[in-house]
Structure 1
Amino acid sequence: MSTRPSRNAPAPGPSANTLYCRTCGRVLSPRKSHTTQATPQKYCSDRCRRERPRPAPSTENDIEQAFVQLLGDGRERRIVKCEEVERAIFTKTRTDDGSDNEEVELLDAEELGEDGPSDGEEEAEDDGGGVRLPSEMEPPAATTTTTTATTTKPQSEKRPHKTLREWGMQKAKEREMVRRAARRGVAFGFETEEGKRRSVEAVQWGRVVESSFAKGEWGIRWRE
């Protein structure tokens, strides 16, 4: 069974006959309490038991299907990085979380009056050569008060802006969701469009590694 490497050591290769968690896809550590159980251990913790992958339609299923689509038929032995799927699945949700700029259309009274005075307010010479003052002009038929209103787009119920801490926690959660799906694919395979399960392997720096201990950027490809 693979053991956890030291901090700076590269991830080890996969081992045969290894049990994996059904939720996070990590290697299960054997416990004395499980040696006498008739059924094999399925989850590494109570948290993983509570957060089991949901069936379709769900985000977990969308992530797995994104891996399948990006991997293609496997002829090119393409390696799909976890970051690719993370961008494909969560880019839209990160821009629609209430942090987008709210555009407000204003009817500016000053802009409406920038055309200058009207013809009736301009000074005009009469036949006698005098100057016609504004007070001598004919009053308007009815005095009206024009109010320039500030109009805004209808405000929908938007989620409040996230703090930097909340934003970081959300991004870390989404990042781990993608890596969980990748590790589950390594351990149990992905379901293809034909309804069959196909195995993948974790690749980092050009070598096949144990996905449970892979750190930094890594990806998966179809197993030969």
Structure 2
Amino acid sequence: MSWMDAWSRPGKHAAVPPPLYLTDGNHVPYCQTCGRVISARKAQQSKVSVVKYCSDRCRNRKPGAMDRRIERAIVALLNEEPESGIEKTAAKAKAAKGDRRVIVTMEEIKEVFFGNRHDPAKTFGRKKNRAGRALGKEDEERKSVDMAASEVNGGIGGEKGRAERTEEFVENLEKRQEGQRRAEEREMVRRAARRGIVFGFVVDEGVGARLEHHGKTQGRNAQSRRAVDADHAPQTTRWKCEALMQGAVVEPSFAKGDWAIRWREGSVA
């Protein structure tokens, strides 16, 4: 029975389990769209021998061109490629001593790829509440006028009338659509990261670059360096990553909050 089943799924305050691809070998099925573990019940109920998707929603939302661009952006960040946007992240501050692997968080990837949409003119949270309480004389007069208009339009107890609600509906609709768009962008980044963790990212490189990546994490001797210099033929391979929460490697299916990603040690598949 997998961790994705309801009775064994970690609770809200429970510790995130270690990676199932390490603890349970290669017998754990992962969804090819969202990168989460496919429940044992789903695999047993399926009529096909190999289950590729955890739900009909994931089957109908297979990775497309945008998802591939996000994956390439993650690869560029982890490899510290020029113009990848690595300077916008705090990767150097998160680097572990003696480990040259780059660590980037989900929010940093989202900001690099989709851009920062924060409006400095708007206030949120407690600042917004304090701004609402600090009403001046003009604000008090405007509030009294609005309440009077509500009563004229049929409002009771200061509620907005039908005309005001109709006028406000367009603004609320735009806010809701903007929120849905941001949520989808957030999930697209996390889905791409989980796919890179369990299936690996496609990287076009020469043998030399691939062995150099190994050299960052495992070290190499002079003989392997000479072998690298002798062969520079371009090849396509897959590098796998791992999910980090508070410095610990965890199962990506249950990673919570602004978790991070880095290359897995010995990541070439």
Asked whether the two chains share a fold, i.e. TM above 0.5, the reply is: yes
- TM-score w.r.t. the length of structure 1 is 0.63
* Structure 1 residue aligned with 2:131: none
- The 3 A distance-change label for structure 1 pair 88 and 29 is same
Contact (CA 8 Å) 2:43, 2:51: kept in 1 or not? Answer: no
Alignment of 1:153-192 (within 5 A): 163-192=174-203
| 2:18 is aligned with 1:13 | yes
| 2:247 is aligned with 1:206 | yes
Cα distance in structure 1, aligned partners of 2:239 and 2:43: 33
1:125-150 per-residue CA deviation (whole Å, 9 max, x = no partner) reads xxxxxxxxxxxxxxxxxxxxxxxxxx
Could you list the runs of 5+ residues in structure 1 that have no partner in the other structure?
A: 96-159
Structure 1 vs Structure 2: percent identity of aligned residues?
47
Runs of 4+ in 1 over 3 A off after TM superposition: 32-38
Q: How many residues align?
A: 156
Q: Which residue, out of 80, 100, 104, partners 2:104?
A: 80
- TM-score w.r.t. the length of structure 2 is 0.53
- The 3 A distance-change label for structure 1 pair 65 and 33 is closer
- The 3 A distance-change label for structure 1 pair 45 and 32 is closer
Q: Which has the higher mean CA deviation after the structures are superposed, 25-34 or 214-223?
A: 25-34
* Structure 1 residue aligned with 2:125: none
Cα distance in structure 1, aligned partners of 2:107 and 2:79: 17
Q: Which residue, out of 50, 55, 80, partners 1:45?
A: 55
Q: CA deviation at 1:33?
A: 6.5
Cα distance in structure 2, aligned partners of 1:169 and 1:32: 28
Give 2:16's aligned amino acid: A
Helix, strand or coil at the partner of 1:77: coil
Higher RCO (CA < 8 A, seq sep 6+): 1
Aligned CA-pair RMSD: 2.5
Alignment of 1:32-71 (within 5 A): 34=44, 37=47, 39-54=49-64, 58-71=65-78
Cα distance in structure 1, aligned partners of 2:33 and 2:68: 12
Helix, strand or coil at the partner of 1:31: helix
Give 2:194's aligned amino acid: R
Larger Rg: 1
- The 3 A distance-change label for structure 1 pair 72 and 36 is closer
Cα distance in structure 2, aligned partners of 1:70 and 1:28: 29
Contact (CA 8 Å) 2:243, 2:252: kept in 1 or not? Answer: yes
Contact (CA 8 Å) 2:201, 2:238: kept in 1 or not? Answer: yes
- The 3 A distance-change label for structure 1 pair 78 and 205 is same
Cα distance in structure 1, aligned partners of 2:193 and 2:57: 19
Q: CA deviation at 1:193?
A: 2.3
Give 2:13's aligned amino acid: N
Could you list the runs of 5+ residues in structure 2 that have no partner in the other structure?
A: 81-94, 119-169, 206-235
- The 3 A distance-change label for structure 1 pair 45 and 210 is same
Cα distance in structure 1, aligned partners of 2:54 and 2:194: 14
Q: CA deviation at 1:32?
A: 6.5
Contact (CA 8 Å) 1:34, 1:40: kept in 2 or not? Answer: no
Cα distance in structure 1, aligned partners of 2:49 and 2:12: 34
Q: CA deviation at 1:35?
A: 6.2
